[in-house]
């Protein structure tokens, strides 16, 4: 089986638009592993050009329309650590895809507070997980360690921006929204 690793964060709207990759590569003998990312302390990504934010917002609107994804920016940027820990638990329990998509919707469609354990537990229940077991998993050292290992791996590999894609045939780090790869380019990585 071929493998594609995607370093991401739930706060990244361009990562949200890439969720469709799960469906695009399904049945093509491709395993997609979504890995937690946080900006490394020592990161030195290229500076964004003047006017980048306005251009990015416009591009995001066009991209969302093209990918049939609704994006309503959240009222505030929230810490996604618990959501990532929950994703590790969901993966171990066969609910990763549904959980992953629902967390992105919580942020980018519903402005839900994913820092709140009760909100996350409700989402977990919606996708078929036990609320109580999920709540306990949010403090389980095993899942916390998996998230920390992803973050350390990103730092070791100098993954300074997201989404970033790593396959058997190379990697793509998206430093500018114009660098978002086509499905074909991603396919060439794996």
Domain segments of the chain as ranges: 2-189
pLDDT digits (tens, 9 = 90+) for 100-126: 999 999 999 999 999 999 999 999 999
Q: Is the dihedral of CA 186, 176, 166, 8 positive or negative?
A: negative
For the chain, give the mean pLDDT: 93
What local confidence, expressed as pLDDT, does residue 48 receive? 84
pLDDT of residue 173: 94
* pLDDT for res 8: 97
Express the helix, strand and coil content of the chain in percent, nearest 5 each: 50, 10, 40
Check if CATH label 3.30.450.20 holds for domain 2-189.
no
């Amino acid at each position: 089986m071929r493998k594609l690793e995607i370093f991401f964060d739930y706060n990244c709207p361009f990562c949200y638009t890439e969720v469709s990759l799960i469906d695009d590569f399904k049945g093509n003998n491709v395993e997609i592993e979504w890995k937690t990312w946080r900006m490394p302390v020592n990161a030195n990504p290229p500076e964004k050009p003047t006017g980048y934010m306005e251009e990015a917002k416009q591009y995001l609107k066009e991209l969302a329309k093209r990918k049939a994804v609704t994006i309503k920016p959240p009222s505030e940027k929230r810490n996604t650590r618990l959501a990532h820990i929950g994703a590790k638990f969901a993966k171990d329990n066969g609910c990763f895809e549904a959980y992953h998509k629902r967390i992105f919707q919580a942020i980018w469609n519903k402005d839900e507070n994913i820092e709140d354990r009760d909100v996350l537990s409700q989402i977990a229940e919606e996708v078929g997980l036990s609320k109580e077991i999920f709540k306990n998993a949010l403090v389980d050292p095993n899942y916390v360690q998996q998230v920390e290992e992803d973050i350390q791996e990103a730092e070791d590999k100098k993954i300074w921006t997201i989404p970033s894609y790593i396959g058997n045939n190379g990697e793509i780090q998206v430093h500018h929204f114009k660098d978002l790869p086509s499905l074909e380019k991603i396919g060439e990585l794996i």
